[in-house]
Copies of this chain bind each other. A is one copy, B any other.
Amino acid sequence: MAAPRLLLVEDDPALAELLEFRFRNEGYQVQVTPDGDEALLLAAEEAPDLVVLDWMIEGTSGIEVCRRLRKTKATAHVPILMLTARGAEDDKIRGLETGADDYLTKPFSPRELLARVGAILRRIRPALAGEMLTVGDLTLDATAHKVTRRSQVVALGPTEFRLLRHFMEHPGRVFSRNQLLDAVWGNESEIELRTVDVHIRRLRKGIEVEGAPDPVRTVRSAGYALEAV
Interface residue ranges, A against B (CB under 8 Å): 1, 12, 14-15, 18, 21-22, 25, 70, 73, 76-77, 89, 92-93, 96-103, 106-111, 125-127, 130, 136-137, 143-145, 157-158, 170-174, 211, 219-222, 225, 228
With A107-B93, A171-B125, A171-B127 given, is the CB distance from A99 to B18 under 8 Å? yes
Q: Would you mind naming 11 contact pairs between A and B with Cβ atoms under 8 Å apart?
A: A15-B97, A18-B97, A18-B98, A18-B99, A21-B99, A99-B110, A100-B109, A127-B170, A127-B173, A144-B173, A158-B222
| Residues in chain B near residue A173, CB distance under 8 A | 1, 127, 130, 143-144
A interface secondary structure, majority: loop
Whether A145 pairs with B77 at a CB distance below 8 angstroms is no
Bound-state Cα–Cα, A157 to B106, Å = 51
Q: Is the CB of A228 within 8 A of B106?
A: no
Rounded to whole angstroms, the CA-CA distance of A76 and B103 in the bound complex is 27
In the complex, which residues of chain B have a beta carbon less than 8 angstroms from the beta carbon of A107?
89, 92-93, 96-97
Residues of B within 8 A of A70 (CB): 18, 21
How far is it, in angstroms, between the C-alpha of A145 and the C-alpha of B224 when the chains are bound? Answer: 10
Task: Give Cα A73 to B213, complex, Å.
Answer: 12
**Across the interface, do B96 and A110 meet the contact criterion of CB distance under 8 Å?**
yes
Partner of A174, one of B18, B22, B109, B145: B145
Q: How far is the CA of A211 from the CA of B136 in the complex (A)?
A: 32
List, in ascending order, chain B residues with CB within 8 A of A1's CB.
172-173
- Nearest opposing residue in chain B for A133, CB measure: B126
**Complex Cα–Cα for A190 and B221 (A):** 21
Contacts A101-B111, A127-B173, A158-B220 known; 7 new A-B pairs at CB < 8 A: A12-B97, A21-B76, A77-B136, A100-B109, A127-B172, A145-B225, A157-B220
